[in-house]
Structure 1
Amino acid sequence: MTLKIEYLPLGKLLRYAKNSRTHSDEQVDQLVNSIREFGFTNPVLIDEKNELIAGHGRLAAAEILELAEVPAIRLKNLSEKQKKAYRIADNKLALNAGWDMQLLAEEVRELMDDDFDIDLLGFHETEIDEMLAVETPPDESDDAPPVVQIKYLSIDKDRIPATDTEIALLLDVYRQYHDAHGTHEGFVKHLADGRQ
Structure 2
Amino acid sequence: MEIQNISIDEISPYENNPRINEDAVEGTAESIKEFGWQQPIVVDKNNVVIVGHTRLKAAKELKLKEVPVLVADKLTDQQVKAYRLADNKTGDMAIWDNKKLLDELDGIEDDIFTGFTESDTFDDTFDETDSEFLDEDKSAFYKLNFETESEDLFNKVQKFIEDNGGEIK
Cα distance between partner residues in 2 of 1:133 and 1:83: 45
Counterpart of 1:115?
110
When normalised by structure 2's length, the TM-score is: 0.71
1:78 to partner: Cα distance = 1.0
Contact 1:101-1:134 at 8 Å conserved across structures: no
Contact 1:109-1:132 at 8 Å conserved across structures: no
1:131 to partner: Cα distance = 5.4
Q: Please state if 1:17 is matched with 2:10.
A: no
When normalised by structure 1's length, the TM-score is: 0.62
1:182 aligned counterpart, secondary structure:
helix
Gaps of 5+ in 1: 136-180, 185-196
Distance change (3 Å), C-alpha of 1:131 and 1:11: farther
Report the more deviating stretch, 82-91 or 101-110.
101-110
Cα distance between partner residues in 2 of 1:60 and 1:182: 33
Counterpart of 1:132?
124
Counterpart of 2:71?
74
1:30-76 CA-partner distances (Å, limit 9, x unpaired):
01111111112110001111111001110000001111100011112
Cα distance between partner residues in 2 of 1:96 and 1:17: 25
User: What do you get for the CA RMSD once the two structures are aligned?
Assistant: 2.1
1:92 to partner: Cα distance = 0.2
Q: Please state if 1:32 is matched with 2:25.
A: no
Which structure has the larger Rg? 1
Q: Please state if 1:45 is matched with 2:38.
A: no
Q: For residue 115 of structure 2, what is the amino acid of its counterpart?
A: G
Distance change (3 Å), C-alpha of 1:131 and 1:96: farther
1:124 to partner: Cα distance = 4.2
Higher helix share: 1
Counterpart of 1:96?
93
Q: Please state if 1:182 is matched with 2:156.
A: yes
Contact 1:105-1:134 at 8 Å conserved across structures: no
1:20 aligned counterpart, secondary structure:
coil
Would you say how many aligned residue pairs link Structure 1 and Structure 2? 132
Cα distance between partner residues in 2 of 1:131 and 1:77: 47
Q: Please state if 1:106 is matched with 2:103.
A: yes
Distance change (3 Å), C-alpha of 1:29 and 1:97: same
